[in-house]
């Protein structure tokens, strides 16, 4: 008897024993305002599951007489469940009667994928307006990098690997460095000036580490000052008592 190919882990219709309809593939559910990052996360998760073909049209529904019809149906229903679990309840309710995972995916793209120009404008505006404020250096950097990575998805993929492309990438990196430094609180003016005076251009990661190091030194200094302040306060009290 021929072995069912759907039992082969390499087969796109294969379902592992750990796969179940209640599985949640992503931590942040689609709420209508986070489509780009959600789409990226879902694609990564489905690629790991070898199920990306269920949403991109790679696997058309076979005829009822096809030997893979049952396997396709099980796989399709499983991916539908995963997609419904990855969106808010309000969005999920509007998708319940779609017959295929691909149909759900297309529907979500049409509803929430914004056209390039407005989205690019929105992201650049968010980047320019972002300042550290009450955020830690790590939280500020993470928020800025998230916006930058989202913005990069709208840039055409480079096909040239010549020196000009390296120069362009270096320029983009320095633009990010400058935006990061400009968004820091005024209290970091000294470390910002030191970085800008360096002869060689630093990567954004190196700049981030330098600023984080400064933040940690301040935290240590604050603790030491607090302890010293208690001691000096006692000394002042003692001096006043002697008078």
Q: Cα(140)–Cα(134) distance, rounded to whole angstroms?
A: 9
CA dihedral 23, 109, 88, 86 (to 10 degrees): 10
136 touches 166 (CB < 8 A): no
| Cβ atoms within 10 Å, residue 223 | 10
Q: Cα(179)–Cα(160) distance, rounded to whole angstroms?
A: 26
- Residue 64, pLDDT score: 85
- Residue 5, pLDDT score: 53
- Residue 235, pLDDT score: 38
**Local structure of residue 172 (DSSP, 8 states):** H
- Residue 24, pLDDT score: 95
pTM above 0.85, yes or no: no
- Residue 205, pLDDT score: 95
Mark residue 157 as left, alpha or beta (left: phi above 0; alpha: psi -120 to 50; beta: remaining).
Answer: beta
Please give the C-alpha separations between residue 96 and each of 83, 85, 108, 167, in angstroms, as whole numbers. Answer: 10, 11, 13, 49
One pLDDT digit (tens) per residue for the chain, 243 residues: 344 555 677 888 888 888 999 999 999 999 988 888 899 999 999 999 999 999 998 888 888 888 888 999 999 999 999 999 999 999 999 999 999 999 999 999 999 887 678 888 988 999 999 999 999 999 999 999 999 988 887 776 566 666 677 888 888 899 999 999 999 999 999 999 999 999 888 999 999 999 999 999 998 876 655 665 554 443 333 333 334
Radius of gyration of the chain (CA): 27
- Residue 66, pLDDT score: 85
């Amino acid at each position: 008897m021929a072995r069912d190919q759907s039992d082969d882990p390499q087969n796109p219709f294969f379902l592992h024993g750990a796969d179940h309809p209640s599985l949640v593939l992503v931590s942040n559910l689609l709420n209508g305002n986070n489509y780009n990052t959600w789409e990226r996360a879902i694609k990564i998760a489905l690629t790991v599951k070898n199920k990306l073909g269920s949403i991109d049209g790679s696997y058309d529904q076979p005829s009822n007489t096809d030997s893979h019809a049952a396997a396709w149906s099980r796989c399709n229903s499983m991916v539908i469940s995963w997609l419904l679990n990855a969106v808010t309840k309000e969005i999920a309710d509007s998708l319940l009667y779609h017959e295929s995972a691909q149909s759900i995916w297309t529907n979500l793209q049409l509803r929430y994928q914004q056209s390039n120009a407005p989205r690019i404008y929105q992201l650049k505006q968010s980047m320019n307006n972002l300042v550290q404020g009450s955020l830690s250096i790590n939280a500020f950097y993470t928020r800025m990098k998230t916006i930058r990575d989202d913005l990069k998805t709208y840039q055409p993929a480079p096909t040239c690997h010549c020196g000009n492309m390296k120069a362009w990438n270096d320029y983009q990196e320095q633009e990010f460095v400058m935006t990061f430094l400009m968004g820091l609180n005024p209290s970091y003016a000294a470390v910002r000036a030191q970085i800008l005076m360096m002869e060689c251009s630093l990567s954004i990661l190196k700049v981030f580490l330098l600023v984080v190091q400064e933040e940690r030194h301040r935290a240590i200094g604050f603790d030491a000052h607090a302890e010293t302040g208690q001691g000096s306060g006692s000394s002042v009290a003692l001096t006043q008592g002697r008078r």
